[in-house]
Amino acid sequence: MRLLVRLGLVILLLALAAAVYQLTPSYPDLGGEEDVKLYPIDQAEQNQDLLEFRKRFIDAVKAKDLDFVLEHIDDTIKYTFGLNEGTAGFLREWELDQNPDQSRFWDEILEVLMLGGEFTNPEKTLFTAPYVFTSFPEDLDAFQHVAVIEREVKVYREPNRDADVLGVLNYSIVRNLTHNDRYVFESNGQLWRKIETFSSQIGYVPDQYLRSPVDYRLSFYNQGPKWQLIFFVAGD
C-alpha cells in the first residue's frame, strides 16, 4: 500500500512539473547569427590574497565601514579625469566627508565589485574591475554599446514590464539607442534603455541588466604589504 501511495505521489509531482513547464513561456534568443557575446570573467581566484581582501572590502562596503575603506585608499588615488587631490579630494568628491551613510559611493562601488575583473599585469598585483571594462571588444564604440550582464534577460516592445516580450538576450553586446534624446530614462518607476541587437532587433531593457564599459571601474594594487584602491572613475 505504501509503495502505491509513493508511486502515486511521484506521478502527481511529475504531472505538476509538466504543467508548470508548459505554462512557462519560451522566448526566442534575439542575439541572432551576428551576436557578440561578453561572458563574465573573474580572475580573483588566481591570487588568494586578493580574493580574501576583496571579500573583506565587499563586507566593509555593505556595512558602510568608512574606516576600513580609507585604510585601503592610496594617497594618489585617481577619481576624476580632471584634478585629483588625494584622499581628501576623493572624500569630497563622494561627499564622504559630510554624510557618508548617504553617499552614492557605496552602491556604485559595490556594483563594480560584484562584476568580476582581471589581473592587468603579469605579477598579478594589479586587479581591475569590472570585466565589462577590461574585456570589452576594442573594435566597438564604448560609448555606443552596452553589455547584457545576465542570461535570459527579457527585451520588451515598450519600456514597461507589462508590454509584450520580444525575446531574451544572454550576455550579448547591444547598441545603445536614444529614447527622447536620452540614453537612460525612467518609465513606470524603472530605469530603462532602448537597445538594438546586431540582428537589428529593437526593444527596451531594464537598465539594471546592462552595463557600459565606461561606467565606474576600479583598480586595486599591491606593492606590499596591503592592497590599495588606486583608481575609481567613470567616463573617458
Domain ranges for the chain, please list them: 44-136+213-233, 145-211
What pLDDT sits at residue 236? Answer: 82
Task: With beta carbons less than 8 A apart as the criterion, state whether 89 and 78 touch.
Answer: no
pLDDT tens track, the chain, 236 positions: 555 555 555 565 555 544 444 444 589 999 999 999 999 999 999 999 999 999 999 999 999 999 999 999 999 999 999 999 999 999 999 999 999 999 999 999 999 999 999 999 999 999 999 999 999 999 999 999 999 999 999 999 999 999 999 999 999 999 999 998 999 999 989 999 999 999 999 999 999 999 999 999 999 999 888 999 999 999 98
Task: With beta carbons less than 8 A apart as the criterion, state whether 201 and 153 touch.
Answer: no
What pLDDT sits at residue 203? Answer: 98
What pLDDT sits at residue 188? Answer: 85
What pLDDT sits at residue 29? Answer: 95
What pLDDT sits at residue 6? Answer: 59
What pLDDT sits at residue 14? Answer: 57
- The Cα-based distances of 212 to 51, 92, 138, 157 in angstroms read 25, 25, 13, 22
Task: With beta carbons less than 8 A apart as the criterion, state whether 232 and 215 touch.
Answer: no
Which set of grid coordinates corresponds to residue 6? 509513493
What pLDDT sits at residue 26? Answer: 87
Whole-model pTM over 0.75: yes
The domain 145-211 is classified under which CATH number: 3.50.50.60, 3.40.50.2300, 2.40.50.140, 2.30.30.40? 2.30.30.40
Determine the Cα–Cα distance for residues 135 and 146; give it in Å rounded to an integer.
Answer: 12
Determine the Cα–Cα distance for residues 96 and 105; give it in Å rounded to an integer.
Answer: 8
Residues 6+ away with beta carbon under 8 Å from 161: 188, 190, 206
What pLDDT sits at residue 11? Answer: 60
168-214 pLDDT, tens digit each: 999 999 999 999 899 999 998 999 999 999 999 999 999 999 999 99
